[in-house]
Each structure stands twice: as structure tokens, then as C-alpha cells.
A and B are shown apart, each in its own frame.
Chain A
Amino acid sequence: MDWLDFFQSITDGLLFGSIYALIGIGFTLIFGVMHKINLAYGAASIAGAYVSIAVAAYVPLPALVTFLIAAIASGGIAFLIYLANFRFIPLASPLATLMATVGMLILIDEIVVHATDGMPQPYPALFADIYIEWGDFGLRGDLIFIFVLSLIAMVVLMFMLYRTRLGIATRAVAQQPVAAQLAGISLDRTNALTFVITGLLGGLAGAMIGASVGVLSPLLVVPITVKGLIVCVIGGLGSIPGAIIAGLAVGAFENFFLAFRGVTERDMYVMLLLFVFLVFRPGGIFSRSVARD
């Protein structure tokens, strides 16, 4: 094993891991507020990216605007998911919500397959021609751009959660829904807005996946959902810093095994990493002292 290859694969993985971090944040935020999993989230993210290339096919747009359109479209889809799967199903039936989001995942996936005839669609990359080199060690420009963009998204999210009224309301609902309601916060509105925010992040992540992989395909949905859930559990359910660190770590870990064990075995090691965490630290990286369901 060459030290240079080692660092190269870890660095590439870290940069790509920022996408996993964004997806993980989405799962974690919804879990924090509603104590439920939105399994259709990965599908909404990819669907947002699809909408953006559909728009770009009619109107020529700079790539950065395409990213923004992806985020906004995914935010809209996330709101629809909230209406269809969470708003009217009673809180006491968690299984029904879980199943409904699976139905939504299939629905979104099939709409995408229909609209594109199941063909993978090329996605515009940004700064793909830039390659920074130090001797044999190099950094891909598009990955750096993705990393920086996700960092910006995370900083904006943190600012929103800790400095604005909406963010404070969201955190209040996450801590104590009843007390939040007594303080005059509308649960319904806060939940819906949280969904839209996670949708925005997801759409950005979907666009970044498209840009770094080069194509968008409906086949991306399930792997992205699984990886996002793993990141969210390793980071600790409901913890945003945990999701960020876990996302980067999973990206680096996965890329390391991709380089040294091949693509067929890569995901097995990611699952093993999850099991190690579940056995030795079931609460995740930033586990709280009180165990939560």
C-alpha cells in the first residue's frame, strides 16, 4: 500500500462525503422535529436535480443557477411529501407513515423513470477542467467546488437554526412539541417548513451528485437513501454536527475501500462500520446521556 494512494483516496472520499453529510442532515432534521423517518427524502433529492436539467434543457442557464433550481424544486417536492405522508396520518401510527413514505419513494422514482424513459441523463459539472497538482497528489476541481458549496449550505443552515425565529421554533418543536405549542408555535407550520428546508438541502445534494458523477439515474435513489440513513445513525439521530462528521467519515472510509478492495466489496465495509458503531456506541458519535427512541 502506497502512502500517496492512501492520502489521495481518503481526500477524494472526504470531499465527496460532504454530499452524504447533506443527505444525513436532512434525515436527522426531520427525525429531530417529527421523530419519524422520511424514506422518500433521497428520491426527492434526485427528483429535484432532474427538474433542474429539465428546465436547463429549455432555457440555457449557468450551472450555478441549475443547482439553485434543483434545490427549490426539491424543496417543493418535500412539501408535497409532507402533505401526502405526514400531515394527515395520525402520530400514533408510525408504521403507516413509514410505509407511506416508501409508497412516495416508488411514486417519485417511477415518475422520473417515465419522464426520462429510464435513460441516465448527463449533468453539467462545474470546474471539472481544474486539477490542482502537487507532484503525484491531485485534487479534482469539481469535488472542491462541491465541498465548498456544502460547507456554505451547512453554515447557512446553522445560522438559520440558531439565529432566526424560524430556527428557534424548529429547535423548540424538536425538544418539546407540547411546550412549543403552548408558547404559540404552530406545529404544523414548523414541520412543513422543516420539510422544505431539508428539501432545499437535498436538492442541492442531488445536483452535486449529478455534477460529480456526471450523470443522473433513478438507480442512485436507493443507495443514496441507505448511505444517508447510515450517516444519520453513525452521527447520532437528531445531531447535525454528528451528521456532518459522519458524512465526511463515511465518504473517506468508503473511498479508501473502493481503492483497495474494489467496488463490489466497498459497501460491505461501510455496513461493518455501522455495526461497529451500533455495538460499541449505539447513540452515535455525539450520543446524549439519555437514550432516545
Chain B
Amino acid sequence: MDFFFGLLQIIGVHTLLGLSAYVVLQTGQVTLAQAGFFSIGAYVSAMLTVLAGWHIIPALLVSATLAGIVAGIVGFPALRIKGLMLVVATIAFGEFIRLFWFNFDYQIEKKGIVVGPQGGEGFKQIRFFPENGWSTLDVAIFIWVIVALVMLALWWTDRSRAGTVLRAVGEDELAAQSVGINLTAVKVGAFAAGGFIAGIGGAIYAHYTTHIEHLNFGVMLATFAIAYPILGGLRNVFGTLVAVIFIQGFLVEGLRFMGDWRNLLFGALIVLAMNIQPRGLIDERSVKLVRGLFTRDTRN
């Protein structure tokens, strides 16, 4: 059973990562810096629980807020550049944060052992869950409560005025600006919200793996972050969840019997999916198709 709870944890964390990119993508900006914000959440929360001895919930909130603030600061240059320049700038920013952790050294002695982030060696012994007697099931429930809260918040935002504003900026900046939407506030806000969510994901990730290092937060993780919402479709939050379950549950775990060939298939499937469904798996057409199965339409 522990295997399935472990899988649930992975899916939960990756859903948070995907949702963090989802918010930013809704405003029409492509960000590849999410892995960087994710790593801020991971390192800062781990330092708070391990070095300062905090409980995980305040550590999670503080580290996520910090990630959100950093993301907001990154959002400002994003006002000057857009499109492909932004892609490159965010890649560079994410890599910069990763390299910062690569060069970051800060250890103290706790209960006879030296703990703390140690440059290229990474940060070992993040043992909040085992030390406090949380079982795999407890951790999985904890993660999914947070995921549910974040999804609920985003789903509600989508249906409120704020979601409409985000989409308006994403569809046509000029039109959005001319009806009085403050582009600066919306873009920076979306970046900060995305950074906050990524920070939560990173904080949880650090605590269930118990060992993090800078290589965990490379460009590939950032591409996964945007892959989930793009593959799932930007229509609603459930697209991201479906994509995460499809990739992490089916492609990564379900096809484990295929061994290394699985990764080959993974790349090929992304190419295929984008050719068939350029607007994501859950787009207007597939929603109509599924609705058609359940409602009787007498008009045709």
C-alpha cells in the first residue's frame, strides 16, 4: 500500500507545480522559472524545520511567501519583455536560482550531527515527518488537503472576475489594457501567485524526499511544470490534474515494465498529443464531446 501512497504524494506535488505554471500561463506568459521558485520553497522550508526547529505548517507558509515575493520581483522585468524573450529570461532566472543553491553552504551542528545545505552535496536529513511519527498515509492526506485547497482557490478564481481578467490579458493585452485593466498588477500578481504555489509544492517535496540537491531543480523540472497545464489544456484546473495523473501515474509508474523505453515513448507521445490536440487534452472540442455523451441533444 505504501507504494500507492507514495505515488499519491508524487502526483500531489507535481499537481501543485503544474498549477503554479497554470496561473502564469493564463495571462499568456510562458514561464520556465517555476523550478527555481519550487527550489526556494524546498530549501527555505527545510532550513526552517531542520535548522530552526519550526513546525511544517508555518515553515511552509513562510517559504511559499518568500517564493511568491521573489516571483513578484521577477514579474517586473516581465513587463518589458514578452513572448520568446520571456521564455529565455525565465530559463536563465531558474538556472540562476539553481546555481545559487549549488554554491550555497550553511551548516550547523544539531544533536551531534552536522545538518544544513552543503553546496553540490545537497541538503540531507530533512526528517520532519519521520521524527514526528507521520506515516506515509498521513503525509499523503496532508498533501492532498493542501492540493484540494489550492485547486479550490484557483477554481473559484477562474469563475470570478479575477479569472476573467487573467484570461483577458492572456487573449489580447492591448484589448485588456484599453478596457482599463492594469497590466502591471495582473502580470506581477500572476507571477507572485504562481511562485507562492510552486513554493508550497517545493516545501512539501523537500520533506517527503528528505534529501534535496540542486540537480533536482533543473530546466527539465521547469519544462514539466509548463507541460502539465499545456498538455491538459488551459480551460480549467482539472486539465492540469488529468495531465499529471496521465504522466506521473500512467507514463512514469504504469509503464515501468517497459524499462528505459518508457522515456522514449514519453517524448514521442508529447509530440503526438500536441499535433492532435494543440489546445490541450481538455479543450472546447473534447468537453463538447464528453457532454454530448451524457446529454440527449434532439436538435441534430
Contact = CB atoms under 8 A, between A and B. Distances in A.
A37 B80 CA distance: 19
Contact of B218 (A36, A99, A102, A222): A222
A93 B84 CA distance: 14
B99 A267 contact: yes
Contacts of B99: 264-265, 267-268, 271
B95 A226 contact: yes
Given A106-B263, A110-B267, A264-B119, A84 B275 contact: yes
Contacts of A237: 84-85
Interface string B210-250: 00000000111001001100110000000000000000000
A84 B266 CA distance: 15
Interface stretch (B86-94, B176-184, B286-294): B86-94
A111 B271 CA distance: 15
A100 B275 contact: yes
Band of interface residues on B: 35 or more
Contact of B267 (A36, A106, A278): A106
A24 B242 CA distance: 36
Contacts of B218: 222
Given A226-B91, A264-B103, A282-B85, A104 B226 contact: no
Contacts of A109: 267
B271 A222 contact: no
A99 B80 contact: no
B77 A222 contact: no
A282 B103 CA distance: 28
A293 interface: yes
Q: Is the interface of A mostly helix, strand, loop or mixed?
A: helix
Band of interface residues on A: 35 or more
B142 interface: no
Given A104-B271, A106-B267, A230-B88, A99 B77 contact: no
A105 B270 CA distance: 10
Contacts of A84: 271, 275
Interface string B84-117: 1101110111011001101100000000000000
Contacts of B271: 84-85, 100, 103-104, 107
Interface string A107-125: 1111101100000000000
Interface string A92-103: 011111111011
Contact of B264 (A35, A89, A110, A264): A110
A271 B92 contact: yes
11 contacts: A85-B271, A95-B30, A96-B278, A102-B223, A103-B269, A106-B270, A107-B267, A229-B91, A267-B95, A268-B103, A278-B85
Q: Nearest 9 pairs between A and B by C-beta?
A: A103-B270, A107-B267, A106-B267, A96-B278, A93-B278, A100-B274, A103-B271, A271-B96, A293-B83
Interface of B: 25, 30, 77, 80-85, 87-89, 91-93, 95-96, 99-100, 102-103, 119-120, 218-220, 223, 226-227, 230-231, 260-261, 263-264, 266-271, 273-275, 278-279
Interface of A: 31, 35-37, 84-85, 88-90, 93-100, 102-111, 113-114, 222, 225-226, 229-230, 232-233, 237, 264-265, 267-268, 271-272, 274-275, 278-279, 282, 293
